[in-house]
Amino acid sequence: MHERAGTPALPEDLIDVEEVTAAYYDREPQMDDPAQQVVFGTSGHRGSSLDGAFNEAHIVATTAAIVEYRRSQGIDGPLFMGRDTHALSEPAWRTALEVLAAAGVEVHVDARDSWTPTPAVSHAILRANGAGTTGGVRTQGPGRADGIVVTPSHNPPRDGGFKYNPPHGGPADSDATSVIAARANEILRSGWRGVARVPFERAAMAETTRKHDFLTSYVDDLANVLDLDAIREAGVRIGADPLGGAAVEYWGAIGERHNLDLTVVNPTTDPTWRFMTLDWDGKIRMDCSSPYAMASLREKMQAPDGGSAPFDIATGNDADSDRHGIVTPDGGLMNPNHYLAVAIEYLFTHRPGWREDAAIGKTLVSSALIDRVAAGLGRRLIEVPVGFKYFVPGLLDGSVGFGGEESAGASFLRTDGNVWTTDKDGILLALLASEILAVTGRSPSQLHADLVERHGASSYARIDAPATKAQKAKLGALRPDDVAATELAGEAITGRLTEAPGNGAAIGGLKVTTENAWFAARPSGTEDVYKIYAESFRGPEHLAQVQDEAKKVVDAALAG
């Protein structure tokens, strides 16, 4: 823990925006360094221009690879492209438009020449492909739309990010990203300057570049996925903090369009994020699930002596608004797992238009409280590896009512049971907290306390342990029989998983379960560590024991 975690950023913590932007154009990647190649993780390619990992060359090559990929798949409809407020997002967005215009791709950009949240891009793709119509979403055939979002999500201000969403509207699966990344790196090696481009001024005025009102389309449609009437009639006082991200104009529009008692707590945008408080490691990071990054909003929710809190519900979003943070007067910043469990219980008892067999989707490192809630509801639980892409098919056809990740990302169906977004929607989940309060008269924190009374209290944490690249590779390839242990923290081991039970996909690591606890170990994609997620329903001391023995179990498996 950094000594200044949770305290306001100081001048020495801020990036030099001009330096970061200049490096984007001036530096070229060294292709013999894997860290400077194009690599698509669970949410696209990310890196910093200062490290030679996110530069003009990367975006030219990756955009050209996307052009080739969409042609190979017969995708010939419009491409919706949005960006967030990171310093590198606009330069990368401009570069991509230059390549797309030269390739004759019809690109739909924001009509306000402003920022676009990730869920608004997913929403636009799905609507263009038929969502909300009797024919449903078209994922095959001519005229299909897709999209690009230029964002590194909650990453620090020095970083940039670039992700592709196919016609299903969600994050691209590895069958697409592996092809795109391999081709992009091939272009980088063979000469990225040979890719056709047109000057930005011409690209912006090209016949193929169209204006799209992402904001109005998304904001107006919210009434079909949330009970906004209940929020308005109950007079719920909402404080929304976009954390300087792409949702800043959306929140004001939501309040005005739907006549809600909504205040945008911080309408400021600044690519240095000088108004942020430092995260746990002393970095500026727009992680709305972190109590340190959310310290200023938590402070704003403090009631004065003898008074009441200024808001009934306060919310935060990360830079591209695909994550949510919920702050209540009685409970402070909610643990993401706690809120997911509350949201699931509420939605599956207040959405009669959903299919009776609609399932609950969770990642395998999310809280087992969700398992207990699902069992209490009599609903099927689908447990998948880390990555929102695994929820896309179920959200598309309505067979999954809710899909959520422990990192505070989720989405769910419209009230009629049809698809809303197939990417994470932090705005949606933030507004749901107000609906829950309006309809039940109880805050999400209070409802979580009810869940604890019925299902038990859990202690949940994630820690890192050192690992070499070879050890990380071995961890990702473990088999269940590589685990020799029969007990974990005093309980018999009931499961050893290297594949997700919900879809049989490899989890890239290991999960071990007992009656009252579990741990999962996964290699980090960016650091020489592996991550241990653990949970116990027997208290924090038992959790610490689980964490300690988890490292021993993994180390023994790696040594075997």
Rounded to whole angstroms, the Cα distance separating 19 from 87 reads 10
Phi and psi of 131, rounded to 5°? -60, 140
The DSSP H or E segment spanning 102 is: helix 89-102
Q: What's 321-359 look like in SS3?
A: CCCEEEEECCCEECCHHHHHHHHHHHHCCCCCCCCCCCE
- On whether the CB atoms of residues 518 and 368 are closer than 8 A, the answer is yes
Residues whose CB is less than 8 angstroms from the CB of residue 39 and which lie 6 or more positions away in sequence, other chains included: 45, 181
Assess whether 89 carries a catalytic annotation: no
Measure the CA dihedral 176/179/185/187, to 10°: -110
CA R_g for the chain? 23
Nearest to 372 by CA among 515, 493, 533: 515
Catalytic pick from 48, 49, 89, 153? 153
What residue type is assigned to position 324 of the chain? H
Here the tokens at position 263 are 């205040």
Two structure tokens written together for 299: 């402070």
Q: Determine the Cα–Cα distance for residues 435 and 404; give it in Å rounded to an integer.
A: 18
Quick one: tokens of 33? Answer: 């360094």
One DSSP character per residue, 9-35 reads: P-GGGS--HHHHHHHHHH----TTSGG
Catalytic positions, written as ranges: 153
